[in-house]
Amino acid sequence: MPLFLGLASALFWGTADFVGGTQAKRLAAVSVAFWSQLAGGVALLAFVLLLGEDWRAEGILWGAGAGLCTGAALVLFYRGLASGQMALVAPISGCAAIVPLAVSVARGEAPNALEWAGIALALAGIVLVSRPVDDAGVSGASRRAAVAMALGAALGFGMFYVLVDQGAQTGASPLWVVAGARGGSITVIAIIGLASRGLARPGPALPLVALTGLLDTSANALFAYATIHGNVGVVSVFSSLYPVATVSLAAILTSERMTPLRLAGAALALGGVALVSAG
C-alpha cells in the first residue's frame, strides 16, 4: 500500500508540475501557485465536508505548518521552472526526500540495507532522468539562480513531508491534514503575491491552473495516506520520483528529448523502487 500510494502521488505531482510549469511561463509564478492552491483547497474542503471526515485541531495545525513550507517552496519552484531550466530545477527539488529520510534515521527508523540500496538507485535515477539535454545559451548567473530556487524548494517540500506525517499520526483524517496544509500554503502565497504585486487573475488559463491545483492536492492526500502505512522516509523517496513524470510529459508533449542517459535514469529509478519494495 505505501508503495502504490507513494508512486501515485509522484505521478500526480509530476503531472501537476508539468502543467503548472507551462502556465508559469505565461503568468507570474506566484499567480499560478496562488490560484492553483485556491482551486485545490476549495475542492478539498467541499469534499471533506461532504464525507464528514473526523478532524482534530492538532492534525490541522500540523497541516497548516506544512502548508506554510510548501507554499513558499511552490513559488520558488514555479519561478525556477519558468526560467526555462525545468530539467535542472526538477531533479534538485526531488532531493527533498533527503529531509524526511534524515528525520526517520534520527527517530531510529532507518531503512534496512536493501532499502538503502534502492533509495540510492532511485535518487540517482531522479538526477539522471532530469539532466538537461542542452544548456547552451544559459548564463552562469541564471543557472546559479535556478539552483538556489530549486534548493529552497527542496527544503520546503522536505519539511512538508515531515509535517504532514506528524499531522497524519495524530489520528486526524489525512484529508483534514491536507486541508490545513492548503490553508497554510494559500496564506503564505497570498502574502508573497500581495507584497510583490504579482497576483494577476489567470484569465483564459484558469482551467489549466485549476487542474494543477486539483492534481497537487490529490497528490498531497495520497502522500498523507501513505505515511500512515509506511516509513515517511521511504514513502517520500517514492513520492520524489515526480520528476520522472514531469520530464516524460515534457518529452511527449514538447520538444524535450528522452536521451539514452535519461532512459538509463528512469531504469535506475524503477530498479530502486523494486529494491525498496523487496526490502
Question: Which pLDDT value is given to residue 247?
Answer: 75
How confident is the prediction for the chain on average, in pLDDT? 81
Average pLDDT over residues 100-126: 77
* C-beta separation of 14 from 77 below 8 A: no
Joined grid coordinates for residue 132: 538537461
How far is the C-alpha of 220 from the C-alpha of 106, rounded, in Å? Answer: 24
Residue-wise pLDDT tens digits, 131-179: 655 555 555 677 778 778 888 888 998 898 889 888 888 888 888 999 9
Question: Which pLDDT value is given to residue 258?
Answer: 62
The residue ranking higher by pLDDT, 218 or 196, is 218
Question: Which pLDDT value is given to residue 135?
Answer: 53
The residue ranking higher by pLDDT, 159 or 129, is 159
The residue ranking higher by pLDDT, 145 or 273, is 145
3-state secondary structure the chain: CHHHHHHHHHHHHHHHHHHHHHHCCCCCHHHHHHHHHHHHHHHHHHHHHHHCCCCCHHHHHHHHHHHHHHHHHHHHHHHHHHCCCHHHHHHHHHHHHHHHHHHHHHCCCCCCHHHHHHHHHHHHHHHHHCCCCCCCCCCHHHHHHHHHHHHHHHHHHHHHHHHHHHHHCCCCCHHHHHHHHHHHHHHHHHHHHHHHCCCCCCHHHHHHHHHHHHHHHHHHHHHHHHHHHCCHHHHHHHHCCHHHHHHHHHHHHCCCCCCHHHHHHHHHHHHHHHHHHHC
Joined grid coordinates for residue 14: 509530476
How far is the C-alpha of 27 from the C-alpha of 254, rounded, in Å? Answer: 19
Q: Which of 211, 184, 179 is nearest to 48 (CA)?
A: 179
Question: Which pLDDT value is given to residue 131?
Answer: 62
Distances in Å between the alpha carbon of 200 and those of 4, 71, 205, 211? Answer: 37, 17, 11, 18
Lowest mean per-residue pLDDT among 7-11, 48-52, 56-60, 265-269: 265-269
68 band by pLDDT with thresholds 50, 70 and 90: very high
